[in-house]
């Protein structure tokens, strides 16, 4: 036996349409009650052709209406169910119309309302079936009235004209109602999606808040604690979920600063907790669009200092290991050279060999001295003495110095035109001058080492970045540039692509820039290496 599975999926009403369906249930009961009352008090022609049948059908229709209202539903309201209910509505009303004197009784107007409400609750196919059934049922009721009750053998065509017009009304009403119903469905679905997104966002925010390393407390305008994350409860040794808590009870100093922040806008303070005598830093912030509520971020200052100390010790350990590794190689060369210089079996060492070994010892000694000097420069990072001076003057002196040194060293008269320096004359930089000289000297020396020594091989541009107060100094050479695999390692200590380099220079330069509130970056080759230094600048008056 072959089982054929249907792909039909029932359509269900959304929240707004369910409200209309409930209104329709009460509307049924209301209209049947009104018709019965009007018949009892002889208002109109209700049940004029068959009072007993009218009362019987009205009672059945009332029971049907009450059943729909009282019936408890565990499942959702489907459009198919609404179609069936509306068809029964129309059947009852059309029959009551036929035995009450026809369309002039006004029941057809009630049928028109039922068609409109029902079509809005039905599917795109269902509302068409509903309108078709309403037209057929209305025409049949008119046939009953004319041919069975009035016993007219030759009915005039105009007797059916009202049926034609009421059918057109059903069609228009059903079309408009179904269109509005689907618009309402779309609105409800969008609202449901928006609601789910909001709920998801709330859960994500709550999860992020709970996982933050900072303590987070949400308070109202009076200082009552409304919500907190897990870390704040651990830091402050209080479970805010067990009882109502106030900032004043937590720390009177914190509460006073909170009030002062709301009045004067000073959004940071420190306070001490009496339970463990720890010092904490608090930062205050408003919740966007909720001015009556505030967020307090709490940090344990001692914990911050401990983490910073651990990071320093970790960095120091890595740096020490690197220094030991870098010094080991030249020390080995010195040791081997010294051993070779010792005479064996009273044999004298040739002068040329002795000079070569001395050169090796001297070269590696200088290398060790350079490493020690570069590492010692790191200790100057925390001793910043900013001053305002002209970067053009410093850079010009460094250019002259490197030209003179390398001209004497290579016995070649190098031209100043190897460098192109472009800058407004009225620019000042705010930087520790000795730090700036060291950074610029390192960058220019690197550029000199890799450039082609042609006119314009090294270009230096100084100007303000995006019309801000941040000064940008670009140093670009025409050398081979920096490989893509090396760019992310270029500022690591002891990383170098030069045979005679220590790999400390760029690392120290970046550290000194950051100590002065600036930064140092490597950019895409143009065509050689491209470094940008950013620092605070200003115009000379």
Q: What is the pLDDT of residues 415-459, one digit of tens each?
A: 999 999 999 888 999 999 988 988 998 899 889 988 999 999 999
Residue 522 within any structural domain of the chain: yes
Nearby residues of 452 by Cβ (< 8 Å), 6 or more positions away? 478, 479
Assign 3-class secondary structure to 503-538. CCHHHHHHHHHHHCCCEEEEECCCCCCEEEEEEEEE
Query: 3-class DSSP state for residue 471?
Result: strand
Q: Are residues 87 and 56 in the same domain?
A: yes
Long-range contacts of the stretch 392-398 (C-beta < 8 A, 24+): 392/421, 392/423, 392/425, 392/427, 392/462, 394/433, 394/436, 394/437, 394/440, 395/421, 395/440, 395/444, 395/460, 395/462, 395/473, 396/421, 398/437, 398/440, 398/441, 398/444
| CATH code: domain of residue 318 | 1.10.287.130
How high is the pLDDT of residue 394?
A: 92
Which of 401, 490, 491, 483 is closest to 448 using CA atoms? 401
pLDDT exceeds 70 at position 255: yes
* 83-87, 210-214, 499-503: least confident range: 499-503
DSSP character for 13?
-
- Given a contact cutoff of 8 angstroms between Cβ atoms, the answer to whether 361 and 334 are in contact is yes
Q: Are residues 294 and 425 in the same domain?
A: no
Task: Compute CA 289 distance to the chain's CA centroid, rounded to the nearest angstrom.
Answer: 18
Q: Are residues 292 and 310 in the same domain?
A: no
Q: In terms of pLDDT, which residue wins out, 84 or 148? A: 84
Residue 3 within any structural domain of the chain: no
Cα separation of 482 and 490, whole Å? 9
Residue 198 within any structural domain of the chain: no
Q: Are residues 158 and 277 in the same domain?
A: no
- Given a contact cutoff of 8 angstroms between Cβ atoms, the answer to whether 111 and 28 are in contact is no
How high is the pLDDT of residue 380?
A: 60
Over residues 301-323, the pLDDT tens digits come to: 888 777 777 776 776 666 676 66
Q: Are residues 146 and 43 in the same domain?
A: yes
* Strands (DSSP E) found in 423-469: 427-432, 458-464
Number of domains the chain is built from: 4
How many C-beta atoms surround the C-beta of residue 47 within 10 A?
A: 24
Over residues 506-528, the pLDDT tens digits come to: 888 888 898 898 999 998 888 89
Bridge partners, 463 (sequence order): 472
How many C-beta atoms surround the C-beta of residue 199 within 10 A?
A: 10
Region 108-125 average pLDDT: 85
Q: Are residues 464 and 482 in the same domain?
A: yes
pLDDT exceeds 90 at position 389: yes
DSSP character for 3?
P
Over residues 147-179, the pLDDT tens digits come to: 655 554 444 444 567 778 888 888 998 889 888
Q: Are residues 44 and 123 in the same domain?
A: yes
Region 246-252 average pLDDT: 85
Cα separation of 397 and 430, whole Å? 18
Structure tokens at 394: 């410093």
Residue 202 within any structural domain of the chain: no
Residue 216 within any structural domain of the chain: yes
Cα–Cα distances (Å) from 195 to 15, 191, 203, in that order, read 13, 6, 12
Task: Compute CA 181 distance to the chain's CA centroid, rounded to the nearest angstrom.
Answer: 35
Structure tokens at 454: 């042609």
Q: Are residues 32 and 166 in the same domain?
A: yes
pLDDT exceeds 50 at position 7: no
In the numeric block, the tokens 């709301």 are attached to: 262
Q: Are residues 125 and 30 in the same domain?
A: yes
How high is the pLDDT of residue 379?
A: 60
Bridge partners, 461 (sequence order): 422, 474
pLDDT exceeds 50 at position 8: no
Cα separation of 324 and 353, whole Å? 29
Cα separation of 429 and 538, whole Å? 6
How high is the pLDDT of residue 399?
A: 92
Residue 248 within any structural domain of the chain: yes
Q: Are residues 310 and 398 in the same domain?
A: no
| CATH code: domain of residue 512 | 3.30.565.10
Highest mean pLDDT among 226-240, 288-302, 333-347, 402-416: 402-416
| CATH code: domain of residue 270 | 3.30.450.20
Percent of the chain whose pLDDT exceeds 70: 84
Residue 4 within any structural domain of the chain: no
Range(s) of the domain holding residue 72 = 15-190
Cα–Cα distances (Å) from 244 to 20, 101, 227, 236, 314, in that order, read 43, 72, 10, 15, 43
Q: Are residues 164 and 32 in the same domain?
A: yes
Query: 3-class DSSP state for residue 347?
Result: strand
Q: Are residues 77 and 153 in the same domain?
A: yes
């Amino acid at each position: 036996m072959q089982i054929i599975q249907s792909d039909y999926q029932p359509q269900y009403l959304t929240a707004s349409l369910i409200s209309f369906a409930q209104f329709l249930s009460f509307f049924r009961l209301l209209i049947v009650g009104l018709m019965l009352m009007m018949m009892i008090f002889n208002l109109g022609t209700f049940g004029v052709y068959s009072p007993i049948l009218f009362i019987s059908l009205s009672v059945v229709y009332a029971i049907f209406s009450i059943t729909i209202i009282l019936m408890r539903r565990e499942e959702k309201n489907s459009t198919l169910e609404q179609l069936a209910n509306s068809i029964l509505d129309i059947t009852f009303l059309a029959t009551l119309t036929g035995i009450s004197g026809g369309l002039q009784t006004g029941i057809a107007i009630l049928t028109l309302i039922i068609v409109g409400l029902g079509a809005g609750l039905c599917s795109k196919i269902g509302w068409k079936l509903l309108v078709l059934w309403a037209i057929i049922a209305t025409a049949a009721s008119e046939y009953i009235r004319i041919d069975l009750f009035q016993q007219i053998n030759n009915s005039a065509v105009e007797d059916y004209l009202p049926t034609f017009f009421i059918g057109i009304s059903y069609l228009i009403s059903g079309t408009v109602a179904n269109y509005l119903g689907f618009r309402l469905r779309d609105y409800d679905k969008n609202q449901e999606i928006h609601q789910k997104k909001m709920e998801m966002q709330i859960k994500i925010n709550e999860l992020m808040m709970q996982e933050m390393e900072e303590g987070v407390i949400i308070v109202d305008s009076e200082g009552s604690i409304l919500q907190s994350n897990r870390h704040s409860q651990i830091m402050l040794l209080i479970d805010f979920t067990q009882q109502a808590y106030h900032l004043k009870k937590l720390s009177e100093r914190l509460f006073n600063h909170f009030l002062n922040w709301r009045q004067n806008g000073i959004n940071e303070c420190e306070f001490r907790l009496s339970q463990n005598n720890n010092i904490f830093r608090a930062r205050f912030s408003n919740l966007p669009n909720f001015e009556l509520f505030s967020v307090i971020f709490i940090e344990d200052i001692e914990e911050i200092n401990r983490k910073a100390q651990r990071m320093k010790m970790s960095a120091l350990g890595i740096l020490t290991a690197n220094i030991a590794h870098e010094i080991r190689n030249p020390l080995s060369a010195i040791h081997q050279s010294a051993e070779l210089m010792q005479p064996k079996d009273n044999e004298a060492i040739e002068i040329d060999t002795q000079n070569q070994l001395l050169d090796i010892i001297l070269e590696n000694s200088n290398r060790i001295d350079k490493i020690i000097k570069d590492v010692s420069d790191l200790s100057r990072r925390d001793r910043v003495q900013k001053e305002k001076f002209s970067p053009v003057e410093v850079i010009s002196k460094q250019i002259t110095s490197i030209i003179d040194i390398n001209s004497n060293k290579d016995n070649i008269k190098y031209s100043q035109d190897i460098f192109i320096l472009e800058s407004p004359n009225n620019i000042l930089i705010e930087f520790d001058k000795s730090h700036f000289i060291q950074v610029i000297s390192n960058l220019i020396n690197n550029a000199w080492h890799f450039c082609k020594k042609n006119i314009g091989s090294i270009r230096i541009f100084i100007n303000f970045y995006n019309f801000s107060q941040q000064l940008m100094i670009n140093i670009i050479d025409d050398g081979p540039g920096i490989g893509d695999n090396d760019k992310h390692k270029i500022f690591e200590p002891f990383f170098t692509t030069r045979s005679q380099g220590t790999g400390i220079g760029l690392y120290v330069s970046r550290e000194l820039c950051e100590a002065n509130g600036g930064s140092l970056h490597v950019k895409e080759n143009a065509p050689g290496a491209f470094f940008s230094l950013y620092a605070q600048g200003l115009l000379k008056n």
